[in-house]
Amino acid sequence: MNAAASASLARLSETTASGPLAHLPVWSSIDASDVAAGIAMLVDECRAEFEALEASLVPTWVGLMEPVEVIEHRLGSVVGTVLHLTSVKYNDALQEAYDDVRPQVIALSSKMSQSRPIYDAMVQLRSSSEGKNLSTARKRILDESIRGMERSGVALAGEQQARYKEIKERLAELSNTFKTNLLKEEKASRVAVVDEARLAGIPEAVVEIAKSQAVDDGVAEGAWHFLVNAVSYLGICQQAADRTLREEMYRAFRGRGVAGGHDNRPVLREILELRQEQARLVGFANYADLSLDAKMAPSTTAVWDLLATLEAAARPVAEAEIDDLATFAAEVQGAPEGGLAPWDIPFWTERLQEDRYGYDAEALRDYFQLPRVLDGLFDLIAKLYGVEITESTDATVPTWDPSVQFFEVRRNAEIIAGFYVDPYSRPGEKRGGAWMNTVVGRDRLLAVGDLPSSLPIALFVMNARPPADGRPGLMSLDEVRTLFHEFGHATQHMFTEIDEGGASGMNLVEWDSVELASQFNEYWMEHKPFLRALTAHVDTGEPLDDDTIDRIIESRNFMVANATLRQLHFAKSDMALHERFGVDPAIDDPAVLDIEIATATLVAPRLDEESPLPAFGHLFSGGYAAGYYSYKWAEVLAADAFAAFREVGLDNDTELSAVAQRFQETVLGLGGSRPAAEVYRMFRGRDATPDALLADHGLLRDEPAA
């Protein structure tokens, strides 16, 4: 074997080996030059191990499920480490090296998830006496593995299997075409302005981009070329005083995806047709049923019922919101001729929001000092779940940057989990935004020393403003909210009580319920005393004033009914198309169905011919097909779960910790070892209802129905 590749692989896969914090990658010893050869070798070794396993299968848990998991872990942890570094320690060489080997990694993952011998052995294990007596968690891992493989066509034979493969490849190609068409169209698109006066109101940063675009286009002076994308759309339609400019941008942005040469309409039509054929091949009546087979929602009927309930509640409020907006616009500027046009809605929404709830987002930063926000969050978690969170004093904990901190989580003095925090922006090497990821999960097979399993480790990446001039790092309100969201995901990862790696933490948690833990955790920021305690002005130490805190909390519901209807339009179109297009011969044109649904659902003014489908990446080049409803599904769960805490009183510490303990032992603790619906019932004693969400949004009408 190649000695250099072998040494590279050793550096890539080196981790801390002892103590409770085993399995931490030695981040700093990884160099771009190790990546290509090291990962290529890892892929070869994992493939050889996997093929050896396929050749001599023993259909028992130890003979089959464990070795598969070990191989997947070996591949996944090295790839995960490298991918993490491309996000937080980016350099071109590292990215290019990974891009080189990525196809090999994907090919092996797909080979492993599509293996017929492994599938057959799993089916054999399931019907054996060992299979019938597996623990709940193992049983679910086995069942879901089999079902997942069946949904992806492993059990098909002969011509059907060949056709399935063909469809899969064609769909990958089409989804890529869909995305590329939009990118090409964006590149070629321009909304040009030559009269400077028309720029009034547009944020400077957006104007600057348009100015340098004009220069790139060869126009040196006095022109601004706006690309038709979300940044320009928001900059112009929310802020530009010039109504005709707003109209021009609105029509261009809302009409994306149909331009000659980049027309996505035939692409999405073929995608929908092929998805239906794919679903039928693996035994489902339509693609929506296939999608829901892996989700918490029990049926398309249950999804439609929820959407209808939310719509009925939101509609009257949405109408009142639009009336309110029209009245405000008329007061400020005199009623526009013909009433509010579609391109007036974003503009006047912004003006009304400023008028009612305006606060200076930049000035607010001075109140959110990063160390204090972290302390507030950790105190909350400690109080709720009976743990202690302290920064590690162990200087040997490997990190990828000197500013990265490592925290240990203890219960009854025993360490149970750990997490990294990488708080500050590092332009040039760290991707923007904020996210969490897992480093290692709780897993019996990775146990070290006398512990029964490995300890879960998470990581948080943020882009807060770094400390400067003796002041601590400062966060925007959005950054604080995202931190709470991401920490919610981490509580499910870190507080898991499941030792089977395949079902611990977030593993096997259905896609439409995985945002429960995260959105739940965000709710604490709407509790006024808690939010106030998070704030302290960087110079004076004063907490934020009551009036501003009220504005922050109340503004969450501003125009919420119209926002809800917009999400419902997307969710209904998505569901209807994947249920009916290509199945029901009466549905001939996806756009006609979509426009029908939009007309029936939305109350804000829109163009009659407007349809988002040709630019709807979530459905046609993302993972949301027959799953867009999940946004609302998870919101309902999070609101209903938080209501259990509200019911006992958010300041009643004794009662609160009893509810929190139950939440921890069920939703956070059981991971994917049982179906999410069952876990939720264990927590709440019943299914979730939309009432709490509707009440939070002010959409619950208390007057009796007429």
CB atoms within 10 A of CB 554: 13
Q: Of the listed pieces 118-126, 137-145, 513-521, 685-693, which binds Zn ion according to CB under 5 A?
A: 513-521
Tell me the closest approach of the beta carbon of residue 437 to Zn ion, in angstroms: 12
CB atoms within 10 A of CB 648: 16
CB atoms within 10 A of CB 56: 7
Tell me whether residue 518 or residue 567 sits nearer to Zn ion (CB atom).
Answer: 518
Tell me the closest approach of the beta carbon of residue 648 to Zn ion, in angstroms: 26
Active site residue 486: yes
Tell me whether residue 518 or residue 548 sits nearer to Zn ion (CB atom).
Answer: 518
For 551-556, which contacts have Cβ atoms below 8 Å and span 24 or more sequence positions?
551/356, 551/357, 551/358, 551/359, 552/357, 552/359, 552/477, 553/526, 553/528, 554/357, 555/353, 555/356, 555/357, 556/526
φ, ψ for residue 424, nearest 5 deg? -105, 155
Tell me the closest approach of the beta carbon of residue 674 to Zn ion, in angstroms: 21
Q: How many CA atoms lie within 13 A of 141 on its CB side?
A: 25
Site for Zn ion in 258-287 (CB under 5 A): none
Active-site residue among 144, 248, 479, 486? 486
| End-to-end CA separation in angstroms for the chain | 80
Q: What is the largest CA-CA distance in the chain?
A: 81
Cβ-based burial of 675 (10 A; exposed 0-12, middle 13-18, buried ≥19): middle
Minimal CB distance to Zn ion: which residue? 518
Q: Of the listed pieces 56-64, 323-331, 410-418, 517-525, which binds Zn ion according to CB under 5 A?
A: 517-525
Residue from 352, 335, 343 nearest 244 by CA: 343
Site string for Zn ion, 533-572 (x = CB under 5 A): ----------------------------------------
Tell me whether residue 134 or residue 693 sits nearer to Zn ion (CB atom).
Answer: 693
φ, ψ for residue 436, nearest 5 deg? -120, 160
From CA 209, how far away is CA 228, in angstroms rounded?
12
Q: Six-digit token pair at 72? A: 């997947």
Tell me whether residue 155 or residue 477 sits nearer to Zn ion (CB atom).
Answer: 477
Q: Of the listed pieces 204-212, 311-319, 445-453, 511-519, which binds Zn ion according to CB under 5 A?
A: 511-519
Task: Please answer whether residues 497 and 443 qualify as being in contact, where contact means their C-beta atoms are separated by less than 8 angstroms.
Answer: no
Residue from 164, 306, 248 nearest 635 by CA: 306
Tell me whether residue 349 or residue 518 sits nearer to Zn ion (CB atom).
Answer: 518
Position among 181, 463, 482, 518 found at the interface with Zn ion (CB under 5 A): 518
Tell me the closest approach of the beta carbon of residue 467 to Zn ion, in angstroms: 28
Task: Please answer whether residues 238 and 128 qualify as being in contact, where contact means their C-beta atoms are separated by less than 8 angstroms.
Answer: no
Please name the amino acid found at residue 699. Answer: L
Tell me the closest approach of the beta carbon of residue 209 to Zn ion, in angstroms: 29
Tell me whether residue 7 or residue 514 sits nearer to Zn ion (CB atom).
Answer: 514
Q: Of the listed pieces 306-314, 348-356, 430-438, 514-522, which binds Zn ion according to CB under 5 A?
A: 514-522
Q: What is the CA radius of gyration of the chain?
A: 27
Q: Of the listed pieces 98-106, 199-207, 492-500, 516-524, which binds Zn ion according to CB under 5 A?
A: 516-524
From CA 228, how far away is CA 372, in angstroms rounded?
40
From CA 418, how far away is CA 409, in angstroms rounded?
6
Tell me whether residue 151 or residue 489 sits nearer to Zn ion (CB atom).
Answer: 489
Tell me whether residue 119 or residue 484 sits nearer to Zn ion (CB atom).
Answer: 484
Task: Please answer whether residues 443 and 73 qualify as being in contact, where contact means their C-beta atoms are separated by less than 8 angstroms.
Answer: yes
Tell me the closest approach of the beta carbon of residue 377 to Zn ion, in angstroms: 16
How far, CA to CA in Å, does 633 sit from each of 98, 175, 525, 602, 627?
Answer: 36, 25, 21, 20, 10
Site string for Zn ion, 465-504 (x = CB under 5 A): ----------------------------------------
Site string for Zn ion, 53-72 (x = CB under 5 A): --------------------
Site for Zn ion in 599-628 (CB under 5 A): none
Tell me the closest approach of the beta carbon of residue 376 to Zn ion, in angstroms: 20
Tell me the closest approach of the beta carbon of residue 686 to Zn ion, in angstroms: 25
Q: Of the listed pieces 193-201, 518-526, 528-536, 561-569, which binds Zn ion according to CB under 5 A?
A: 518-526
Tell me whether residue 37 or residue 494 sits nearer to Zn ion (CB atom).
Answer: 494
Q: Of the listed pieces 17-25, 73-81, 448-456, 510-518, which binds Zn ion according to CB under 5 A?
A: 510-518
Q: Rule CB under 5 A: is residue 175 a binding residue for Zn ion?
A: no
φ, ψ for residue 330, nearest 5 deg? -65, -40
Tell me the closest approach of the beta carbon of residue 454 to Zn ion, in angstroms: 24
From CA 419, how far away is CA 483, in angstroms rounded?
13
From CA 268, how far away is CA 173, in angstroms rounded?
12
φ, ψ for residue 259, nearest 5 deg? -65, 150
Tell me whether residue 81 or residue 482 sits nearer to Zn ion (CB atom).
Answer: 482
Tell me whether residue 122 or residue 436 sits nearer to Zn ion (CB atom).
Answer: 436
Tell me the closest approach of the beta carbon of residue 517 to Zn ion, in angstroms: 9
Tell me the closest approach of the beta carbon of residue 647 to Zn ion, in angstroms: 25
| Spacing of C-alpha 482 from chain mean position | 11
Q: Of the listed pieces 230-238, 400-408, 512-520, 590-598, which binds Zn ion according to CB under 5 A?
A: 512-520
Q: Which residues bind Zn ion (CB under 5 A)?
A: 518
What are the catalytic residues?
486
